[in-house]
Amino acid sequence: MATRAAAAMIPPPDSLLRYNPPVLVSRRTEKRSPGARPLKGTPPPPASTGPVPPPPRPAAAAESAKQPQEILNAILPPREWEEENRLWVQEVSSAPSTRLDVVHLQEQLDLRLQQRQARETGICPVRRELYAQCFDELIRETTINCAERGLLLLRVRDEIRMTIAAYQTLYESSVAFGMRKALQAEQGKSDMEKRIAELEEEKRELERQVSEEKAKCEAVEKRESERRQIEEKKHTEEVQFLKRTNQQLKAQLESIIAPNK
């Protein structure tokens, strides 16, 4: 029982698009062989609480409504679902709509927008879904009165959907591109931080070497300054010694020459 409940499809939710009452297409029972063909057009059992299929229409009425119904089915495909091993099909209604129906459609649109708490602005999947259902209902009403106008509205609807899909694809690709760029920037940031740390370490090492070289240079300058001072002092003493020696020799020479006169 749990397996069958899990395999069964959930009936579609209510839509702003008007549908005919659902029709039972086939019944699937566990006792039938897998290769057996399903029973087509089998009416639901009397005890069932599900929707009752409409009674068969006369041949003339069915023939007259066949072409609009085929066009509607081509534009707005019927929806199918399974319920208790029964396959149900629900086609779009081919009944014309009046002005009151359009007013009621607008009221239902506003009501469901409020009930489902759709956003008034911005991107909102709920609002988009409800407006798509409303536009499909307008296409249905227009197609019943003028098939060509309905087909033209169908082209407009498909073009709008293609444009929205293109924008959605562009948005998703731009988001993915932004994420890639953000990851690349984050990775580049970590690499840059590592490079900055290496350069700062190299800078500190070079500053240490500069300090050492400055200390060596100052030591060399101090040593050379002291040596130069010693050399200058020695040179000055030698000059003074030579001057005194010269004075003494000059005096001796003058004393030798003076008596002879």
Query: Would you place residue 11 in the very low, low, confident or very high pLDDT band (cuts 50, 70, 90)?
Result: low
Q: What is the pLDDT of residue 73?
A: 83
Residue 46 pLDDT exceeds 60: no
Helix axes 125-145, 99-115, angle to 10 degrees: 170
Q: What is the pLDDT averaged over residues 11-26?
A: 78
Tell me the C-alpha distance between 35 and 28, whole Å.
Answer: 12
pLDDT of residue 197: 92
CA-based angle 35:4:34, to the nearest 5?
Answer: 5
Contact 82, 9 (CB under 8 A): yes
Average pLDDT, the chain: 79
Tokens of 63: 């023939």
pLDDT at residue 159 tops 90: yes
* Average pLDDT estimate for 114-140: 89
At residue 208, the pLDDT reads 93
Burial of 152 (0-12, 13-18, 19+ CB in 10 A): middle
211 pLDDT band, cuts 50/70/90, is very high
pLDDT band at 220 (very low <50, low <70, confident <90, very high): very high
The Cα angle at residue 243 between residues 241 and 247, in degrees rounded to 5: 115
Taking the model in full, what pTM does it have?
Answer: 0.53
Residue 44 has pLDDT above 60, yes or no: no
Q: How many CB atoms lie within 10 A of CB 137?
A: 23
Can you give the pLDDT at residue 37? 40
pLDDT for residue 261: 55
Residues 206/210/211/216 CA torsion (nearest 10 deg): 140
With 90 as the cut, is the pLDDT of residue 63 above it? no
